[in-house]
Each structure stands twice: as structure tokens, then as C-alpha cells.
Structure 1
């Protein structure tokens, strides 16, 4: 898959599993991709969350996206960039994660933390291919 094809796949399946590292141990959790744009995949979390602390300490991640209907899995790995962008936070809260509006009204935007995976490696696996080599490309 090309980068554009990966972005289209993620738009259709924005829920991911994000793997991080904490004290040398793997950690994984489900994460919804807040923004899927040509600049990359942007995530929003709380500054009080373990995932925030883990990404600040070690920005290396791997994301897994899955389409159960087609049996296609797309993984993207790379290093997250920690963003300090109030306008982007406002856009996410107002347009994507509207459930965060009461949190922001009470505590402000500083409780939110943004990370973006702008480049890395994509790995595509198709169930129909079985044990065939995976498709690896730059993201």
C-alpha cells in the first residue's frame, strides 16, 4: 500500500491498537485516531494518562488497524511527535471528540496531549495470503 492508501484504510477503520514501551515492557491499548491527514496520524490523550507519559519517555510506537470484512491488517510503526498546538486541540474537541467538551470547559485545553506519527514504516498483512510475505513500505 502507498502512504495515501494507508491513510484511506485508516480513515475507514480509525480504531487502532497502539503499542508503547514502559520500563522496558510492552503496553498496548485501543486508541481512536483523532485526525487522519496527509501530514500523518494524530492522537489525543490526557496528560494524566499512562500513554502520555510513555510516549514522552519513548516515542516509538506501532499501531495496528484491522478490517474484519476483508481480513486486512495494516500496521504502522515509527516515532511519535509531541505536538503543542492549541488550534489543533480545539479542532479535535469541536469536530472529532466532542465528548471532551465538558472536560475542556472544566479544566482547559492543557489537560490534553497530542501526538502525531508523521513517518515510519507500514506493514500490510492479508488473511487471504496466509503465510506469504507481508507488504512493507515507507509511510
Structure 2
């Protein structure tokens, strides 16, 4: 896959698993990516969630996206964004977040972008091959 095909794949398969580190313990959770583009991969979480405190301690992450035929893993660095326009866009696109933000306040919505992305792909056909990485 080339860069555009990878971005298309990520956007077509936004359900993923994101790994962080807490101390010396890996932590993995299911996530729903907001979007992937030439600037990186955008996610959101809550300021009250363990994910946010883990990113503040160590911003290196890895995300795994799947379809029935392929697995795409992306390693990179999470950058907390303060873009209020993007926050409003996310809240409009995901109305189920609004009640939560109403309870917690709008500052509870944390938006982050994964940058410096290195991508590896896996299929049953390439299972025994050496893992290769390409820059997204």
C-alpha cells in the first residue's frame, strides 16, 4: 500500500486498539479514530481518563487497525492539540460526546494527533516475512 491507500484504509476502519505505557506496564484499549490525513491521526479522549495521564507521562503510542484481510500497525508520538475549531467539529460530528462534555465541561475533551508515524502491515500471506516499516 502507498500513503494514500494507507490513509484510506485507516479512515475506512476507524475502530482500532491503541497502546500506551503506564510506568512499566503496557495498556491497550479500543478506540474510535476521528480521522487520518497527511498531518497524522486524530483521536479524542477525556481529561479524566487514564489514557490522557498516560500520554502526559509518555507520548509514544502504537495503534492497530484491522479489516478481515489486513492488519495495519502505526507507531508514533501523540501531540495534544488545543485547536478549539477542531474540538467543535468533533463535538458536532459525534453528538454522543455532548452530554459527557456537558457534565464534565468542554475542557474535558482532549484531542490529540499521532505524528511521526511508522507503519507496518500484516496479512496471512506475509505472516512469515520480516516486518518492514514505512513512514506515513
TM-score, normalisation: structure 1: 0.91
Structure 2 partner of 1:127:
124
Describe the superposition over 1:37-93 as per-residue Cα deviations: whole angstroms up to 9, x where unpaired: 22111010000000000011100000000111x2x1000001111111111111001
TM-score, normalisation: structure 2: 0.93
Task: Write the distance in 2 (CA, Å) between the matches of 1:5 and 1:105.
Answer: 37
- State the 1:126 CA deviation: 1.2
Contact in 2 for aligned 1:2/1:137 (Cα 8 Å)? no
Describe the superposition over 1:99-138 as per-residue Cα deviations: whole angstroms up to 9, x where unpaired: 0112233443201101101222100111122312334201
Gaps of 5+ in 1: none
Contact in 2 for aligned 1:64/1:74 (Cα 8 Å)? yes
- State the 1:6 CA deviation: 1.4
- State the 1:32 CA deviation: 0.5
Gaps of 5+ in 2: none
Task: Write the distance in 1 (CA, Å) between the matches of 2:39 and 2:26.
Answer: 27
Change beyond 3 A, Cα 1:107–1:48 = closer
SS in 2 for 1:6: helix
Q: Work out the number of aligned pairs and report it.
A: 136
SS in 2 for 1:134: coil
